[in-house]
Amino acid sequence: MKNYFVALTVVAGLFVASCSSDDDGLALSTTCADGIMNGDETGIDCGGVCEPCENGIDTPDSYTFTRDDANTVSFGGQTTRLKMGQELLADFNTPTNTIDDLVGMFAHVEGDIDFEEDDLNVSDKSLRSKVAASADYFSTNATDQALIRADLDGFLNTQVTEVYPNWEVSAVAGIAGQLADGDKTRYVSADGLEYNQLFAKSLIGSLMTDQMLNNYLSTAVLDEADNVANNDGDVLEEGSSYTTMEHKWDEAYGYAYGLNADAANPNADLGADSFLNEYIERANSDSDFEGIADDIFNAFKLGRAAIVAKNYDIRDQQAEIIKGNISKVIAIRAIYYLQNGKLGLAGETPNYGSAFHALSEAYGFIYSLQFTRKPNSTDPYFTKNEVDAFLTDLLDDGDNGLWNVESTTLDSISEDIAARFDFTVAQAAE
């Protein structure tokens, strides 16, 4: 599918030089004069031969960057948080857990025994501390930050106080319990909400997307303090092989690819986690959006190469491509699950288990829309107030939340989301 983001990626791709490079696989220069074949004639080290190019950036085939033969890519903190999230989700549907068990995994304190993996227990990282914590959206917005964190706390609490006690009860309108969904069993609240899905999909926006788009890819973070001067001078973080700017870009990358078996070539192994990685793969597998995974990965590669080449205009162009495409993935999946839920509710004998599972996923992706980012803008695609209004409509068609939701409501929300993007409800619903 041809779209704005693909087109922008192609334009950016035209700037990639075929310059030969130094031992690290990256061009040493940031400019090449058009038509000049010999790098020596312009004082540019292109190994003696430089093809005509605009910016001298040589992008590697994989997300592999080195300095003096040492790896400069590092995103261990992101991998740790993804692992914490995976284990929390795996334990969500264990009815013997207490609220302290789930909160311990969400708001981990260094040294507490909250996880099966010892490395997670000794970590000073936590999920909750990074929820709604971006520099661009929340550094001066403590009110919304507190509300958002309270929402996710509430999802955990409702699972323990409302769903767990009714684990063996058949759910009906107004009563929490279990619902059949083929060979699976879904566990829902009195409103029909499956809280493990709400939590997981809301975390995609409030943590992974917010940190990626509105924090680590923000110029406020990339260019903070002396970052530009230090990157220009190859001044490395103490005890590390990378500059601060390189590391910040890598941390954004880690929230998408931190659990891939081969993180340098993640598109061969998409679906490695239950968060952004999985849904990049899901969107890419739809023929209408085929190629979006490459658009995201290639923008990450070129942007990182641009940092090494000290070309911050190209870096920022790639950041905007990533912002638009990650936002698009969230919108696609919100509509997909709204329409999937509508199908489950259709007919004389609705499949409530299947429908509520899909609509709970839709709820989480809708929630995540407030953390998206319009390219070349400081704004999300949808404000918190707009998102809250969608969720109110989803649950308040009548009493008992999803049990009485109307298909017209699901279509209306779907159309409103699609209208902000360059695709249709029908395309996203496939």
Burial of 388 (0-12, 13-18, 19+ CB in 10 A): middle
In a domain, 250, yes or no: yes
266 in Cβ contact with 273 (< 8 Å): no
Ramachandran region, residue 33 (left: φ > 0; alpha: ψ -120 to 50; beta: rest):
beta
Predicted local confidence at residue 281, as pLDDT: 98
In a domain, 267, yes or no: yes
In a domain, 274, yes or no: yes
Tokens of 380: 């999300």
Give the closest residue to 411 by CA, choosing from 350, 352, 338: 338
Predicted local confidence at residue 397, as pLDDT: 64
Give pTM, 2 decimals: 0.88
Tokens of 267: 């598109």
In a domain, 127, yes or no: yes
Q: What is the pLDDT along the chain (430 residues), one digit of tens a residue?
A: 444 444 444 444 433 333 433 333 333 333 333 332 333 333 333 333 334 344 578 899 999 999 999 999 999 999 999 999 999 999 999 999 999 999 999 999 999 999 999 999 999 999 999 999 999 999 999 999 999 999 999 999 999 999 999 999 999 999 999 999 999 999 999 999 999 999 999 999 999 999 999 999 999 999 999 999 999 999 999 999 999 999 999 999 999 999 999 999 999 999 999 999 999 999 999 999 999 999 999 999 999 999 999 999 999 999 999 999 999 999 999 999 999 999 999 989 999 999 999 999 999 999 999 999 999 999 999 999 999 999 999 998 667 899 999 999 999 999 999 999 999 999 999 8
In a domain, 40, yes or no: no
205 in Cβ contact with 284 (< 8 Å): no
Which single residue is written with the structure tokens 């070349």?
376
Predicted local confidence at residue 42, as pLDDT: 30
Q: Could you list the residue range(s) of the whole structural domain that residue 198 is in?
A: 74-417
In a domain, 56, yes or no: no
Tokens of 364: 């989480």
- Looking at the 3D structure of the chain, how many domains does it have? 1
Spatial separation of the C-alpha atoms in residues 300 and 340, rounded to whole Å: 32
In a domain, 57, yes or no: no
In a domain, 200, yes or no: yes
Contacts of 399 (CB under 8 A, 6+ apart): 173, 174
